[in-house]
């Protein structure tokens, strides 16, 4: 039987493709890591473990790209700081591009389109 070796990036994408969002946590120093890598960037330990984050975060930066309606209309790109202390680039669904603001609380979810998973965010509903 042939075993296919997969690197951390491939394992991370495979989890996304299955609808699971994972980040890493170093067993040596406890720090969270994103985007996944073979070594902890904080202490150099090998193979931080893949773990599921709580999913909450805050928009740290956002930019709106303006396009004509026939080109798909406006959209935005934002940086989100997860509560675990890592930052990633994505988008916030469910709001008009101009309604996504710095400081907005969001919750992560995975969208699988044509077999490929992608992390997006939804605005958190105030309790």
pLDDT of residue 97: 85
pLDDT of residue 127: 58
**Does the pLDDT value for residue 42 go beyond 90?**
yes
Question: Per residue in 69-101, pLDDT tens?
Answer: 998 888 899 999 999 999 999 999 999 888 999
**Does the pLDDT value for residue 1 go beyond 80?**
no
Nearest Cα residue to 80 out of 64, 97, 61, 99: 61
What structural domains does the chain harbor? 7-52 (no CATH), 54-127 (2.40.50)
**Does the pLDDT value for residue 5 go beyond 70?**
no
CA distance 123 to 127: 12
- Written as six digits, the tokens of 83 are 């509560």
**What average pLDDT does range 24-51 have in this prediction?**
94
Percent of the chain with pLDDT over 90: 77
For the four alpha carbons of 46, 20, 124 and 63, in that order, the dihedral sign comes to: positive
């Amino acid at each position: 039987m042939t075993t296919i070796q997969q690197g951390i990036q491939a394992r991370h994408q495979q989890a996304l493709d299955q609808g699971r969002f994972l980040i890493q946590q170093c067993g040596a120093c406890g720090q969270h890591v994103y985007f996944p890598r073979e070594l902890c960037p904080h202490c150099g330990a090998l193979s931080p473990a893949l773990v599921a984050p709580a999913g909450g975060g805050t928009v740290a930066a956002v930019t709106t790209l303006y396009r004509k309606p026939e080109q798909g209309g406006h959209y935005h790109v934002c940086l989100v700081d997860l509560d675990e202390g890592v930052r990633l680039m994505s988008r916030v669904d469910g709001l008009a591009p101009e309604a996504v603001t710095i400081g907005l609380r969001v919750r992560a979810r995975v969208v699988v389109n044509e077999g490929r998973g992608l992390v997006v965010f939804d605005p958190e509903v105030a309790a």
